[in-house]
Amino acid sequence: MPDPAVPPTPPVLLTSLLAREDLSLRRIAGPEDAGTVVHWVHTSEMADPYPYLLGGELLLTAGVHIPEAAGPGTYFDDYVSRIVAAGGAALGFGVAPVHDTVPRALVAACETHGLPLLEVPPQTTFSGVARAVWQLMAQSRLAELRRVTEAQQSLASAASRPDPVPSVLRQLAQRLGGWAVLYGAEGAEIAGAGRRPGEGAASALAKLAGVVRPVSEGSGGPPHPTSATDTTAGLHLAAYALGAGRGFVLGVATPQRAPGDHTVVSVAAVLLSLLTGEQQSGTGAARSSALVRLLLGAPPEEVASLLGGERWVVVRARPDGEGAVDAVAASALGAALGSALVDPAGDVVRVLVPADRAPAPLPGWTLGVSAAVAPHDWPAADTQAGRALARARATRTPLLRHAPRPALADLVPPGEAAAHARTLLAPVTAHPALTETLRTWLSLHGSWDRTAVALSVHRNTVRQRITRCATLLETDLEDPDVRMELWFALRHI
- pLDDT, position 279: 41
The answer on 121 and 29 residing in a single domain is yes
Domain limit, last residue, from 401, 431, 449: 401
- pLDDT, position 114: 95
Is residue 200, in this structure, part of any structural domain at all? yes
The answer on 265 and 181 residing in a single domain is yes
Domain limit, last residue, from 401, 430, 451: 401
Mean pLDDT in each 10-residue stretch from start to end of the chain (493 residues)?
A: 55 93 95 89 94 93 88 86 95 92 94 96 95 91 85 85 84 92 80 88 88 55 70 88 73 85 86 67 60 75 72 89 72 77 84 84 88 87 90 87 65 76 89 91 89 90 92 90 87 78
Is residue 206, in this structure, part of any structural domain at all? yes
Query: Taking the mean position of all CA atoms in its chain, how far away is CA 110?
Result: 47
The residues, any chain, with a CB within 8 Å of residue 470's CB and separated by 6 or more, are 476, 477
- pLDDT, position 363: 78
The residues, any chain, with a CB within 8 Å of residue 63's CB and separated by 6 or more, are 45, 93, 94, 98, 99, 103, 106
Is residue 5, in this structure, part of any structural domain at all? no
The answer on 105 and 172 residing in a single domain is no
- pLDDT, position 284: 56
The answer on 168 and 109 residing in a single domain is no
pTM over 0.75: no
- pLDDT, position 93: 97
The CATH code of the domain that includes 423 is 1.10.10.2840
Domain limit, last residue, from 401, 416, 435: 401
Bridge partners of 475, per DSSP, are: none
The 8-class DSSP code of residue 228 comes to E
**C-alpha span between 217 and 452 (Å, rounded):** 52
The answer on 191 and 212 residing in a single domain is yes
**C-alpha span between 374 and 235 (Å, rounded):** 57
The answer on 370 and 483 residing in a single domain is no
**With contact defined as beta carbons under 8 Å apart, do 331 and 342 qualify?**
yes
Q: Which phi-psi region, left, alpha or beta, contains residue 255 (left: φ > 0; alpha: ψ -120 to 50)?
A: alpha
Alpha helices (H) along 223-365: 261-276, 282-295, 300-307, 327-337
- pLDDT, position 347: 83
- pLDDT, position 180: 93
The answer on 465 and 421 residing in a single domain is yes
- pLDDT, position 324: 72
**C-alpha span between 153 and 141 (Å, rounded):** 18
The CATH code of the domain that includes 98 is 3.40.1390.20
Is residue 149, in this structure, part of any structural domain at all? no
Domain that holds residue 287: 279-307
The answer on 321 and 390 residing in a single domain is yes
The CATH code of the domain that includes 186 is 3.30.450.30
The answer on 324 and 224 residing in a single domain is no
**With contact defined as beta carbons under 8 Å apart, do 88 and 55 qualify?**
yes
Is residue 154, in this structure, part of any structural domain at all? no
Number of domains observed in the structure of the chain: 5
The answer on 132 and 16 residing in a single domain is yes
**C-alpha span between 29 and 428 (Å, rounded):** 94
The answer on 258 and 301 residing in a single domain is no
The answer on 128 and 207 residing in a single domain is no
